Structure 1
Amino acid sequence: MVSDPENIRLVVLDMAGTTVADGGLVERAFAAAARRLGAEPDAMLDYVRATMGESKISVFRHLFGEETKAQEANKAFEEAYAELVDGGLVAPIPGAREAIEQLRSQGRTVVLTTGFARTTQDAILAALGWQDLVPLTLCPADAGGRGRPYPDMVLGAFLRTAAADDVRQIAVVGDTSYDMLSGVRAGAGMVAGVLTGAHDENALRTSGATHVLGSVAELPGVLA
């Protein structure tokens, strides 16, 4: 646990479920993708829920096995999710933008990360008007392609921003077990779970959360 939260210089925030309200869009897009491939989505949804936060292509590789089919499923998922975003069905978590702006006003660098592909991440940012909200956004492909629960995106943010001198000056914040694992594996000084997304407090703490917050809106106060 962080002995002095004021030492946090870099804040790595997840998007869907943490700063962006999901509202079941991931499951809806997955169901559409599964049907497009002739699969029955209900039989797969438990795995999809359990692996929320993981790189989506990794999820499809597990479910479909064959790489060609996994890539096809991933493409169908991204297209379905983009249609939902275009339909105005994406919104920020209440207080998320204000929290990000407050963190930056405190002198901290904020990076937004996702398990989605770059095209989907950019569509979400555009829909919210967040293109210039933070200096860096990362998707799995920007950090070697493995995504969560690997520490790659967190360490990528650490290296690219040069905002912190030590990984213990990083806070990783997300709504899933995979977010927590990525923060722990990166050596982050704070690994905070939020209760606005996929996983409950027990799952977050079991995966290494040092803090559990009601929402990201509480984060600036915790760090102040």
Structure 2
Amino acid sequence: MSGERGGAFPFPKAVLFDLDGTLIDSAPDIAAAVNELVARHRLPPFAVEKVGTMIGDGMPKLVERAFAAANMPLEGPALDEAIREMMPIYLSHLTGESRPMPGAREALAHLRANGIATAVATNKPEKAANEVLSHFGLAGMLATVVAGEAVARKKPAPDALLLALERLGVPPSKALMVGDSKADVGAARAAGMPVVIVRGGYTQTPPEELGADLVCASLLDLPAALEALHGAA
């Protein structure tokens, strides 16, 4: 693990997690949904790795990026229609090939055992987020889930993070964001929170260049990382 900032910060009372690419490796299922959608438009499929570069700003942006990458950019009513077409497809590809990220359960269990509230702040649609978390046995380890429809502005705006903290009764100064992307860092900074980036997610930018307080190899490293940041001189 590597840090970006010097100095200690308070041990958090709450830790917020991104979902796709942070708690769940969902790219294979998202790729299956994207490929089903583009096949309906007689467009060639994408590799999972390519779809991974499209993830991170919500399902509508995913659809927009997919058609742009297929050299069939959509906008206006045509894009709106493709997004409507995508929703049932997306909801039919949630847990078939997805898996929890390494250390996801262990990190959540450790935090809760130490009295730290845990929550998810994601751009993913609410129905999809709740189904995924329930399927993998993570829902009961979270105090709240703030999904895309719950706020007017998605990450990198801070709205989802601030709503989660409001529900938890914890101020941003006593919380931490854990994510995998530029959107997560931007949202945390806008909310006034420190942020940890976990490798293995869907960012196109090298993790060390995202501007986080710390970069972890996996969620297995998160408990030790928090202790290190709290105790830094």
Task: Give the structure-2-normalised TM-score.
Answer: 0.79
1:185 to 190, 207, 212: 190
CA contact (8 A) 1:121 1:139 kept: yes
Query: What's 1:11 paired with?
Result: 15
Mapped partners of 1:49, 1:93: distance in 2: 15
Residue 140 of structure 1 pairs with residue 144 of structure 2: no
Deviation at 1:127, TM superposition (A): 1.5
CA contact (8 A) 1:37 1:73 kept: no
Query: Any unmatched runs of 5+ in structure 1?
Result: none
Query: What's 2:230 paired with?
Result: none
Partner AA of 1:80 in structure 2 = I
Alignment of 1:13-162 (within 5 A): 13-37=17-41, 49-60=52-63, 65-87=74-96, 89-144=97-152, 146-162=153-169
Query: What's 1:210 paired with?
Result: 213
Specify the SS of the correspondent of 1:132: helix
Partner AA of 1:213 in structure 2 = C
Q: Give CA deviations for 1:142-176 in whole Å, capped at 9, x if unaligned.
A: 122x2111111111112121123xx2222111111
Deviation at 1:39, TM superposition (A): 5.2
Partner AA of 2:92 in structure 1 = E
What is the aligned residue count?
216
Instruction: Label 1:40 to 1:96 Cα distance change in 2 as closer, same or farther (>3 A).
Output: same
Task: Give the structure-1-normalised TM-score.
Answer: 0.82
Query: What's 2:224 paired with?
Result: 221
* Identity %, equivalent residues: 23
Query: Any unmatched runs of 5+ in structure 2?
Result: 228-233
Deviation at 1:11, TM superposition (A): 0.8
Deviation at 1:129, TM superposition (A): 2.1
Q: Give CA deviations for 1:10-35 in whole Å, capped at 9, x if unaligned.
A: 21101111111224332332232233
Query: What's 2:170 paired with?
Result: 163
Task: Compute the RMSD of aligned alpha carbons.
Answer: 2.7
CA contact (8 A) 2:177 2:184 kept: yes
Q: Give CA deviations for 1:94-122 in whole Å, capped at 9, x if unaligned.
A: 22111111111222111112221111112
